[in-house]
Amino acid sequence: MNRGASSIVALFVCLLAAPGQTPLAQSGIRFHHVHLNSVNPSAAADFYTKAFTTSIKTTFNGDVAVRTVNGPYLLFTKVNTPPPTQPQSAIWHFGWNTPDSRAYLERFHAMKLDVVPMYADPERTVIEISSDALPNFPTTARIGELRSQGVQPARVGGFQYLRGPDASLVENAGNFPSEYFNHVHMFHEDPACAQLWYTTHLVTIVPGAGGQGRGSPITADNCKRPYEEVT
């Protein structure tokens, strides 16, 4: 997908681990919840438990909630008007890992859920799941090379988005051994600085996540970095 140069870029906060992999639990820290405003919390909870069936509808401190199979909650606050979506919230989306994301996509269509299309490349090819794009979301120049080599999309696994209740954006990503709540994805002007703040104050970074292990270590002196448009 083509993400243009902007003062706001994406930060992937990988706070959660798959069942059986609990780096945060070992440190005594765990991701607890995503808190959402909703005009109809009960209906919103029903949506998530139908889309991701390992989650259950429950209550937390007397309010409607969803508890995911690996522990994190979706908590809902009743509001009278839909939460604003413009300008963009700090949260881009949140999502689950699933055993077969393409099968989930087919099920979402059968359930008549709102599947969100996305661009596959700088040519603005529209797809519904990332595995329908050429590998690694190529630049314009690279697209021609891949096509001349006969390279085809993998059409296995990949990520895809639903428009959930109250305009939330929900990711389904596969393929993984089981279904579990995986992450919150946020926008930030300086992603490396944001990552440094979280790993300093809250969490131990999962090895290999968020760019760890690539390039020089992130410090307060070097976390403000230029970002260029990929074309």
User: Distance (Å, rounded) from C-alpha 127 to C-alpha 118?
Assistant: 6
| 165 pLDDT higher than 60 | yes
User: Distance (Å, rounded) from C-alpha 93 to C-alpha 63?
Assistant: 22
- Give the model's confidence band at 208: pLDDT under 50 very low, under 70 low, under 90 confident, else very high: low
Residue 176 near residue 18 (C-beta atoms within 8 A): yes
User: Checking DSSP bridges between strand 169-174 and strand 158-163, what pairing results, if any?
Assistant: antiparallel
Average pLDDT in the 45-56 region?
Answer: 98
The CATH architecture assigned to 9-211 reads Roll (3.10)
Average pLDDT in the 106-124 region?
Answer: 95
User: Distance (Å, rounded) from C-alpha 54 to C-alpha 52?
Assistant: 6
User: Distance (Å, rounded) from C-alpha 29 to C-alpha 76?
Assistant: 22
Rg over CA atoms, the chain:
19
What's the pTM? Answer: 0.83
Beta carbons within 8 Å of 86's beta carbon, 6+ residues apart: none
- Give the model's confidence band at 162: pLDDT under 50 very low, under 70 low, under 90 confident, else very high: very high
Q: Domain locations in the chain?
A: 9-211
Average pLDDT in the 40-47 region?
Answer: 98
| 150 pLDDT higher than 70 | yes
Nearest to 74 by CA among 167, 184, 161: 184
- 97 vs 123 pLDDT, higher one: 97
Tell me the residue type at 149: Q
| 146 pLDDT higher than 50 | yes
Instruction: Give residue 156's pLDDT.
Output: 97
Q: Which two three-digit tokens encode residue 125?
A: 């090819």
- Give the model's confidence band at 89: pLDDT under 50 very low, under 70 low, under 90 confident, else very high: confident
Tell me the residue type at 82: P
Query: What is the total residue count of the chain?
Result: 231
**pLDDT tens for residues 22-37?**
444 445 678 899 999 9
The percentage of the chain sitting over the pLDDT mark of 70, rounded to a whole number, equals: 81
Average pLDDT in the 45-50 region?
Answer: 98
- Give the model's confidence band at 17: pLDDT under 50 very low, under 70 low, under 90 confident, else very high: very low
Average pLDDT, the chain: 85
Q: Which two three-digit tokens encode residue 213?
A: 């292990």
Average pLDDT in the 54-70 region?
Answer: 96
Instruction: Give residue 5's pLDDT.
Output: 29
| 91 pLDDT higher than 70 | yes
Average pLDDT in the 8-12 region?
Answer: 42
- Give the model's confidence band at 12: pLDDT under 50 very low, under 70 low, under 90 confident, else very high: very low
| 160 pLDDT higher than 80 | yes
- 209 vs 203 pLDDT, higher one: 203
What Å distances lie between residue 201 and 195, 209, 214, CA to CA? Answer: 10, 17, 22
